[in-house]
Structure 1
Amino acid sequence: MPGRPVSDETREQIVAAARAGKTRNAIAREFEVAGGTVTRICTDAGVSFDRSATELAVRARTIDLAEERLLVAQKMLAVASDMLDQLDAPYEVFNFGGKDNTFTSEVLDSAPAEVRRNAVVTAGIAFDKATRVIEKSDHGLEEAVGTLDVLAAGFKAAAEEIRAREAAPVEGEPDEA
C-alpha cells in the first residue's frame, strides 16, 4: 500500500466516493490505499471529511446514556427508601411446613433485627451505587448542557440574521412609514 502510485482514474473514484458520503477508512479499504492517501487526494480536490455529524451523534448518545444511568439511580434510591420505610411498619413473619405441612403466621409491630440489618445494608449498597452513578453522570450532564447551549446560540444567531435580512429594505422599493 505505501509508496504505490495512484492512477488518475483511481483518484477520481476516491474523490467521487468521498463526495458520495463514504468514510475515509471505508474508501481506503475499498481502493486498498492508506487513509492518509485518501485524505491527501480529497484535500487536493477540495473535499473534506466532515465529522461534525458523528461528533454530535456521539454527544447525543453520551447524554442519553447519562440520562438512563440517572433514571436507574433514581429507581435504586426509591427502592432503598421504600425498604427503610417498611422497617417500622407491621411485619408478618410466617412458617410453612412441618410433617402436616401447616402454615402459621404472626404480625409483629416492626421487622425483626436480622431483617432490619439486611434492609439497611441493602439500602446502603443501593445508595452507594446510585451516588457513584450520579457523580459519573455530572460530567455528561455538563457536556450536554454545553452542547445544547452551543446549539441554542447557533439557532439564535441564525434567527437574528434572518430577521435582519427581512427587515432590510429592498432596493427599488419605497420604505414603509
Structure 2
Amino acid sequence: MPKGAAVPFSEDEIAELCRLHAEGKGRNEIARALGRSLRGVSIHAGRLGLTFDRTATEAATRARKADLEERRVILAEALQEDAERLTEQLWAPHWVFNFGGKDNSYERRLLDEPPADAKKNLMSAAGIAIEKSLKLVPPEREDLEGLAAVDAWLRGMMPGGE
C-alpha cells in the first residue's frame, strides 16, 4: 500500500462509523472509538458521503483568532510603553562608568543627559520597539492620514522646511 494511503475499513468499522455519525458524533470522537486516524475517518466518511458539523470548529477557530489578536494588542502596548520609557531616558540624568586601567579602578559620574552614543542606542531601541508595535497592530487607514499630516508638519518645522 502506498505511503500515506488510508488503511481500508472493515465492513464492521464502516457500519460503526455510520452509526456513530448518525448519533451526531464528531470526527475526533469517531476516530477515538474506532482506534483510527482522523485522516482515515475523514477519507472513509467522505467516500460514504458523510459530512461533519463544523460549527463548533469554526467557533473555536474564531475564538483562538480573537485571543491571539488580544495578545498581539497587549504586546504592542508593552512595546509602545518600552519606547516611551526609552525616549524619556534621552533627557534624564545619566550615570557614566569607567572600569579598568592599570590599577583596575572604577569611576562613575552623573551627567545632565546621556552622551551622544548612548542617545543613539536609546533612539535605535525605541525605534525598533515602535516599529514592532506598529507591525503587531497596524494603524487604521484614517490614522495613517493623520500620521502623514503630523509628518508634514514636523518637516515644516525643520530648518529649510525639508
The two structures have a TM-score, normalised by structure 2, of 0.65
* Aligned-pair CA distance for 1:89: 0.9
**Alignment partners' CA distance in 2, 1:109 and 1:33:** 71
**Larger Rg: 1 or 2?**
1
Kindly tell me the number of residue pairs found equivalent between the two proteins. Answer: 131
How far did 1:15 drift?
1.6
What CA deviation, in whole Å up to 9, does each residue of 1:41-74 have, x standing for no partner? 464xxxx511111111111111111111111111
Q: Which runs of 5+ in 2 are unaligned?
A: 141-162
Output the CA distance in 1 between the equivalents of 2:77 and 2:109.
Answer: 34
SS of corresponding position for 1:135: coil
- SS at 2:109 equivalent: strand
Match of residue 111, structure 2, among 108, 112, 116: 108
1:38 alignment partner in structure 2: 45
1:130-141, aligned counterparts within 5 Å?
Answer: 130-135=133-138
Report the equivalent of 2:121: 118
Question: How high is the TM-score relative to the length of structure 1?
Answer: 0.60
Find the aligned partners of 2:66 and 2:125 in 1 and give their Cα distance. 29
Structure 1 unaligned spans of 5+? 139-177
Map of 2:25 onto structure 1: 21
CA RMSD of the aligned region, Å?
A: 3.3
CA contact (8 A) 1:90 1:109 kept: yes
Aligned-partner SS, 2:67: helix
Indicate how the Cα distance of structure 1 residues 107 and 135 shifts in structure 2: closer, same or farther if over 3 A, else same. same
Question: Could you say what secondary structure the match of 1:61 adopts?
Answer: helix
Q: What is the alpha-carbon distance in structure 2 between the residues aligned to residue 95 and residue 135 of structure 1? A: 42
Asked if 1:52 is matched to 2:59, the reply is no
Letter in 2 for 1:66: E
| CA distance in 1: counterparts of 2:9 and 2:31, whole angstroms | 19
Cα 1:96–1:42 change in 2 (3 A) is same
**C-alpha displacement of 1:110:** 0.5
Determine the C-alpha separation between the residues in 1 that align with 2:9 and 2:123.
71
Shift of 1:6: 7.3
C-alpha distance in structure 2 between counterparts of 1:123 and 1:85, whole Å: 10
Identity %: 31
